[in-house]
């Protein structure tokens, strides 16, 4: 026990570990906040679609020698706007529009990959996350995007809640629903991009969906559900980072497994009560 | 009740999916009116409301609220609307009654700010008026049909509206709750002076409790309800010549005795 405490304190002393914890917690709060709204809007798969589309952006950034999260953000925003356009014009339903953008982004990434060899290792870190290797630029990006998301949610959560519950009614009260929906969709893109370094393109949807889904099992008020999802997401990331360092395994995998374990425990608790 | 017009509809046409649903509608609703909107299914009752609320466009004619044309009208705070499918929400949605009614306080001026004590007081007052204060911390998915309706009316009331528009609010309310629900609406109309427009298939309630009736079946006819009103004369225009509503001078007695 004594050794464990010393090891934990030692880990906390490393700058890379502090970066991982800070970035991870910010990403967890942003992801779970956005995620709860996505679940309630029944649009959780948009997170998966956008994250796979971001793959094309990452590949483009590596190809052009530009910071890949910038190009990923640009491509993700285009994808969000594309999905909105396809839906608005009646060209595709939500799930089909997401599938179109996912396929377009991912195939673009694959073509770039096959044309240019040599950055497969770096790409691997974006696909599966590399939280323990995030540098100061990554951390700054996570903070900038994360706090933008958290600030937006903090200021406008009432309006987002009203739109999520009943868009027509919200519109009648004078809330500019179109502006808020666009803003929210842009934040989905932002949140996914900021989480890519933390948990990776493949698993980001898990951090967005699982904590909110777990919190919903508790059947509490909206405010309590939101804070519970922050809690489940934050603890999954916090513990996940420690355990991955401890056992020297992939952090993103551990974080997701922990989030799944929390979901199972809470779901079982609900059934047994 | 007075003769101050607050809704004026002139020669209104409304189309949906390229077919005319409302044709040449002209009517006036005065402050303090309690208006029942009746008509057969698919006759255009909901379409009429949605056009009034500018949710769907009208093809011709004019709508005026509080002497202001709909095209420039922006004081939506003065009007509250409960749609016919308001209660068809996901029962897993994590909202308490208090939180849902609080959403009714939102408007352009509350964007980006926290709700104040005055907002919380208004929520408590609306819950108290509707007799559901004890449900404030209950999740909306756990409510009965009648409780849900009361909650949504409370959400509408919390805005302190001058006009309350309800689209088939009694669906899902059992007979034992119905009386109390109508009593609350009558109180709102009589005590708070709120003008009420209510779509309903409950013809007895409309002719016994309300001051005006609007019959909708593409055509729109409005008439004041007095003890001399012959409901069938009006209803036949909407429901057809073969329609007969059994209504005599004692029909309303039970209703008023319980109210």
- A184 to chain B, closest Cα gap in Å: 14
Straight-line distance from the first to the last Cα atom of chain A, in angstroms, rounded to the nearest whole number: 34
Which pLDDT band holds residue B257 (cuts at 50, 70, 90)?
A: very low
**Considering only alpha carbons, which residue of chain A is nearest residue B103?**
A162
Where is average pLDDT lowest: A216-230, B36-50, B149-163, B245-259? B245-259
Mutate to test the interface with B, among A165, A184, A212, A267 (most CBs of B within 10 A): A165
Q: How far is CA A251 from CA A201, A203, A210, A255, in A?
A: 13, 11, 16, 6
pLDDT for position A151: 94
- Nearest-CB residue to B112 (from A156, A171, A215): A156
Closest A-chain CA to B78: A173
How do residues A65-107 score in pLDDT, each as one tens digit? Answer: 898 999 999 999 999 999 988 888 888 888 899 999 999 998 9
- Which tops the pLDDT comparison, A2 or B75? B75
CA distances from A171 to A229, B52, B106 (A): 28, 14, 10
Contact B94/A222, CB-based, under 8 Å? yes
Q: Do B55 and A155 lie within an 8 Å CB cutoff?
A: no
User: A179 to chain B nearest CA, in Å?
Assistant: 12
Mutate to test the interface with B, among A158, A162, A184, A213 (most CBs of B within 10 A): A158
Does residue A164 surpass a pLDDT of 60? yes
The first and second tokens of residue A177, run together, are 């629903």
| pLDDT recorded at residue B254 | 57
User: Which residue from B90, B106, B139 is facing A162, i.e. has the nearest CB?
Assistant: B106
For the cut 80, the answer to whether the pLDDT of residue A2 exceeds it is: no
Contact flag A162-B103 (C-beta cutoff 8 Å): yes
pLDDT at position B253 is 64
Residue B249 burial (CB count, 10 A)? 7
Under 8 Å between Cβ of A209 and A44: yes
Judged against a pLDDT cut of 80, whether residue A120 lies above it is answered with: no
Contact A174 B115 (CB under 8 A): no
- The pLDDT, as a whole number, for residue A7 is 78
Statement: residue B177 has pLDDT above 80:
no
Rounded Cα–Cα distance for residues B117 and B122 (Å): 9
Contact call for residues A170 and B106 (beta carbons, < 8 A): yes
Distance CA A10, CA A6 (A): 6
Contact B103, B155 (CB under 8 A): yes
CB distance A161–B103 less than 8 Å? yes
The mean of the pLDDT values for chain A is 90
The structure's pTM equals: 0.87
Angle between helices A204-217 and A251-272 in degrees, nearest 10:
20
**Confidence band for A180, pLDDT divided at 50, 70 and 90:** very high
Give the pair of three-digit tokens for residue A271: 């059934």
Q: Which of A40, A158, A221 sits opposite B96 (nearest CB)?
A: A221
User: What is the phi/psi pair of residue B49, to 5°?
Assistant: -65, -45
ipTM (interface predicted TM): 0.85
Which residue of chain A is at minimal alpha-carbon distance from B86? A166
Least confident of A125-134, A208-217, B45-54: A125-134
- Position B259 scores a pLDDT of 37
- Tokens for B211? 């001051």
Nearest by CB to residue B83, choosing from A158, A169, A222, is: A169
Please state, in angstroms and rounded to a whole number, the distance separating the CA atoms of residues A177 and A41: 14
Query: Chain A within 8 Å of B163 (Cβ-Cβ)?
Result: no
Separation CA A225–CA A211 (nearest Å)? 10
């Amino acid at each position: 026990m004594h050794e464990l405490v010393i090891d934990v304190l030692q880990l906390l002393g490393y700058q890379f570990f502090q970066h991982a914890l800070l970035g991870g917690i910010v990403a967890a709060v942003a992801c779970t906040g956005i995620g709860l709204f996505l679940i309630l809007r029944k649009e959780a798969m948009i997170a998966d679609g956008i994250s796979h589309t971001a793959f094309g952006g990452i590949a483009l950034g590596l190809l052009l020698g530009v910071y890949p999260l910038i190009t990923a953000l640009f491509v993700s925003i285009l994808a969000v706007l594309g999905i909105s356009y396809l839906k608005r014009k009646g060209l595709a339903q939500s799930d089909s529009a997401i599938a179109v953008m996912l396929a377009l982004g991912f195939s673009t990434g694959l073509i770039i990959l096959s044309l240019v060899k040599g950055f497969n290792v770096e790409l691997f870190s974006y696909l599966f996350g590399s939280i323990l290797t995030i540098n100061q630029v990554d951390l700054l990006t996570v903070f900038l995007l994360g706090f933008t998301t958290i600030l937006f949610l903090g200021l406008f959560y009432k309006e987002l809640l009203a739109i999520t519950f009943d868009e027509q009614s919200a519109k009648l009260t004078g809330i500019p629903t179109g502006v808020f929906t666009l803003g929210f969709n842009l934040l989905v893109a932002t949140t996914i991009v900021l989480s890519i370094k933390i948990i990776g393109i493949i698993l980001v949807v898990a951090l967005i969906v699982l904590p909110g889904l777990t919190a919903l099992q508790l059947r509490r008020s909206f405010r309590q559900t939101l804070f519970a999802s922050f809690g489940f997401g934050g603890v999954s990331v916090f513990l996940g980072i420690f355990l991955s360092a401890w056992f020297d395994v992939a952090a993103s995998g551990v974080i997701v497994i922990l989030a799944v374990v929390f979901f199972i425990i809470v779901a079982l608790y609900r059934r047994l009560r | 009740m007075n003769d101050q017009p607050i809704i004026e509809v002139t020669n209104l046409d409304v189309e949906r999916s390229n077919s005319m649903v409302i044709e040449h509608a002209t009517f006036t609703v005065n402050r303090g009116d309690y208006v029942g909107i009746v008509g057969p299914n698919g006759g255009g009752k909901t379409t009429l409301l949605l056009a009034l609320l500018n949710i769907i466009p009208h093809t011709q004619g004019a709508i005026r609220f509080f002497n202001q044309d709909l095209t420039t009208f922006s004081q939506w705070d003065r009007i509250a609307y409960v749609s016919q499918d308001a209660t068809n929400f996901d029962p897993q949605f994590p909202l308490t009654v208090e939180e849902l009614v609080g959403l009714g306080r939102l408007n352009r001026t509350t964007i980006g700010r926290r709700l104040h004590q005055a907002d919380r007081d208004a929520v408590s007052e609306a819950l108290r008026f509707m007799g559901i204060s004890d449900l404030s911390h209950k999740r909306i998915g756990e409510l009965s049909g009648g409780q849900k309706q009361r909650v949504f009316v409370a959400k509408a009331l919390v805005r302190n509206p001058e006009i309350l528009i309800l689209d088939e609010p009694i669906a899902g309310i059992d007979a034992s709750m119905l009386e109390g629900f109508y009593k609350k609406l009558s109180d709102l109309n009589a005590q708070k002076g709120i003008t009420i427009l209510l779509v309903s298939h409950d013809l007895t309630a409309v002719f016994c409790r309300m001051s005006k009736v609007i019959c909708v079946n593409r055509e729109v006819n409005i008439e004041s309800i007095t003890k001399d009103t012959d409901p069938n004369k009006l209803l036949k225009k909407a429901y057809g010549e073969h329609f007969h509503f059994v209504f005599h001078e004692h029909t309303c007695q039970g209703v008023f005795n319980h109210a």
